[in-house]
Amino acid sequence: MSERVWGVPAAVALAGRPAAGFWREADPAPRVASWAAAATFRPRNEVESDETWRQIIPYILLRAPAGGYFTYRRLPASGEARLVDRHSIGVGGHINDAHLVPGLTLAPELQPNLLADGLQRELHEELLLPQPPEGLGRLRIHGFLALDESPVDRVHVGLVVLLDLTAAAVAGCGVRETDKLVAAGWFTAAELRAKLDAVPFEGWSRAVIAAGLP
């Protein structure tokens, strides 16, 4: 059975967006709520080529107190051929229902919890994060992301989230699957923007950096 992934009709995902790429909203809650109300799980092998439907991808940026953003590079073993050797500032992936109780339908007011669950699962799967006494940090929505440049772009939509780490957490942060990813360092928004012409960033990271980081 194909993996089932969480997503929404493209008309819902992109309603009122200013343009393709990254965008922010003064109050992101209504868009998140509209996604949650319309979202369903569908087999991934059906939706990878269905441009009427967008798979929701949490995309997490890690920021240090001094302003640096965590970056990494994908290795051949990562399994994403189109992303091999690409640099990224975002940790993310599909939300699936493999861990959910079969047969249940969640009311709309419960659906946003799937986003929070997906965000935390991605962090746990991709990164080694310490648990300092003062805490790990705080997650908040930074914006939304949708590109139209390729067939892959046109079936995904991103919820971009910013994790402001504590200083102690930064010191112990690293990649979990070292055969698939390699840490590339921490860089400020200005440093990342200066690297855009020289470093092969993946498309989503490039869009977020170009739009401006706090």
Domain range for 129 is 4-211
pLDDT at 43: 94
If one counts the domains in the chain, the total is 1
pLDDT at 110: 77
pLDDT at 87: 94
> Could you tell me the CA-to-CA distances from 59 to 25, 101, 109, 143 in Å, in that order?
16, 25, 22, 10
From first to last of its 214 residues, the chain has per-residue pLDDT tens of 578 999 999 999 999 999 889 999 999 999 999 999 999 999 999 999 999 999 999 999 999 999 999 999 998 776 666 777 899 999 989 998 877 777 777 777 777 788 888 888 888 888 988 888 878 888 999 999 999 999 999 999 999 999 999 998 898 899 998 988 999 999 999 999 999 999 999 999 999 999 999 9
Helix axes 112-126, 29-38, angle to 10 degrees: 100
For residue 156, the domain's CATH number is 3.90.79.10
Residue 210's H or E segment, with its range, is helix 203-211
pLDDT at 5: 95
Phi (first) and psi of residue 58, to 5 degrees: -65, 135
Long-range contacts of 21-27 (CB under 8 A, 24+ apart): 21/145, 21/146, 21/147, 21/207, 21/210, 21/211, 22/143, 22/144, 22/145, 22/160, 22/207, 22/208, 22/210, 22/211, 23/143, 23/144, 23/145, 23/211, 24/142, 24/143, 24/144, 25/143, 25/144
DSSP labels, 30-70: HHHHHHHHH-EEEEHHHHTT-TTEEEEEEEEEEE-TTS-EE
pLDDT at 66: 93
pLDDT at 78: 67
Task: Give the 3-state secondary structure of residue 166.
Answer: coil
Provide, rounded to the nearest whole percent, the portion of the chain with pLDDT above 90: 65
